[in-house]
Amino acid sequence: MRDDDLPGNRQDLEDEFDAALRGGGDDVSPEEMSLIEDVQALINDTRTYAEAELAYQKSRAAFAADRGKSAALYGLFALGFVHLALIALVVGALFALAPLLGPWGATALIVGLLLAGAIVLLVLARGKAREVSNAFKVGKE
């Protein structure tokens, strides 16, 4: 297809495009547009940008909330499975130690080890809580 087969020539198309960019078919040059029209166009563009940005941030927040709920749910199920696994470990240890120590001896040993672990963790937690408390006391002196 040759250029002369197209309706109109290239210059006519460019002129129509320039006229569309100026906002109409009248032959008003950009220099003749008033400052008020420029400011109004800027305000309209700013409003459009702000609305688009707000819509984008809303959709982004909705996406994050949806994925956050799923992640929290999966995390809770994972913690539940870890808890069940630890229960199974305790029961398995009772069954394994029962022939060696007897049922009451195995139970006493497992309970004693679990209580000792809990006490160690509580002492560590108390130390960390004191560090936080002391950090806030230093600022008050």
CB 30 within 8 A of CB 22: yes
Structural domain spans, the chain:
1-30, 34-140
d(CA 141, CA 137): 7
Residue 15 is encoded by which pair of tokens?
């002129």
Global model pTM greater than 0.85: no
In eight-state DSSP terms, residue 23 is T
Q: Read off the pLDDT of residues 20-58 as tens digits, 9 standing for 90 and up.
A: 556 554 555 566 668 888 888 899 999 999 999 999 999
**The tokens 């940005």 sit on which residue?**
53
pLDDT in tens, 61-108: 999 898 999 999 999 999 999 999 999 999 999 999 999 999 999 999
